[in-house]
Structure 1
Amino acid sequence: MSYERRFDITFGLCDAAGIVFYPRYFEMTNLMVEQFFAEVLDYPYSRIHLEEGNAVPTVHIEADFRAPSRLGETVTWTLDLTRIGTSSADFALQLTKDGDTRLAVRLTLVWVGRDGRPEAWPARLRERMAAHCLKGQDQ
């Protein structure tokens, strides 16, 4: 089940040519994942990081930049959870404008405990993730 959000391209995201400065895409990608955790999984980053002392760092990311996004445009981000492992999860994100793909991103997050080492996803969170995963869970 895809998670989708519309997003306005503002001045602060753009370079002097009026197109999105590529590092800003990574900030938007992280924002999409963070919003997915909060809005869909009901497990916000504030709980993970501040209340529980855990973390979910991105350990791998791939991006295919296909076309620029410009100041003043409204684009659509789509996020899919594609795999859940014991302590990691894979996501696919796509940025589109009027059906045309501008950016495709694949990333992996890892659940990291207070000691800084990977741990299994908490059972309740894993359950919620499984309900939204396209391909299912690793055993």
Structure 2
Amino acid sequence: AGGSGGWCGCVATDAAETWLVAGWGDGFLCSIDLNTLGSVACMPTAAAPLACTFEPSSDFHLMSVGAETGLYHWRLTGELETRATCSSPSALGLATMRMANGGHVTAVGGSEGTVDIFCDPSYCAFTLSLPAEA
């Protein structure tokens, strides 16, 4: 898994540290079972993944962003659940937080000076615009 995919742009492990996901410069994510060190799936993306994370309270769903406008929501086994459009041409980072009601919020920052807030990984709930420096 990996290696031949160029450079590694992001790495994440699940809470139990039994799964690892790595994003590669050639435009794909690999999921790896850390107990067997076997590759489970390779997930193609439109550009190099730059950030990935496991969905809070789930060891089998993950999200990724990269040098393009999409927030990807994946199953660990490689199936694409959703791809939502972000406001920036390049999404550079993401963070997720589990809420008290069991839901979660995902924030995606990018090259446009905006932060997109997702309450559901299939659509952007709203966008925060950061003020330009004076």
* TM-score normalised by L of structure 1: 0.29
Which one has a larger percent helix, Structure 1 or Structure 2? Answer: 1
Structure number having the greater strand percentage: 2
Structure 1 or 2, whichever has the larger Rg, is 1
| TM-score normalised by L of structure 2 | 0.29
